[in-house]
Amino acid sequence: MPAPRSTTKVRTHPLGDTALLAELGTRVDTALNTRAIALAAALKKRRDVRQAIAGYASVTVHFDPDQTTHAALTTAIRRLASKRPPMSEPGRLHRIPVVYDGPDMEAVAAVLSLPAAKIAEIHTRPIYRVFLVGFVPGWGYLGPLPEELELPRREVPRTKVPAGSVAIAARQTGIYPLATPGGWHLIGRTSVKLFLPDSDPPCLFRAGDRVKFFAAPA
- Burial-class residue 123 by CB neighbours within 10 Å (0-12, 13-18, 19+): buried
Does position 151 have pLDDT exceeding 90, yes or no? Answer: yes
Does position 140 have pLDDT exceeding 50, yes or no? Answer: yes
The CATH fold of domain 11-81: Gyrase A; domain 2 (3.30.1360)
CA distance 120 to 213: 9
The pTM (predicted TM-score) of the whole model is: 0.83
Per-residue pLDDT reduced to its tens digit, 154-182? 999 999 999 999 999 999 999 999 999 99
Domain with CATH 2.40.100.10 in the chain: 93-215
The CATH fold of domain 93-215: Cyclophilin (2.40.100)
Domain with CATH 3.30.1360.40 in the chain: 11-81
Per-residue pLDDT reduced to its tens digit, 17-49? 999 999 998 888 888 898 999 999 999 999 999
Per-residue pLDDT reduced to its tens digit, 198-215? 888 899 999 999 999 999
Residue 1 is predicted with a pLDDT of 39
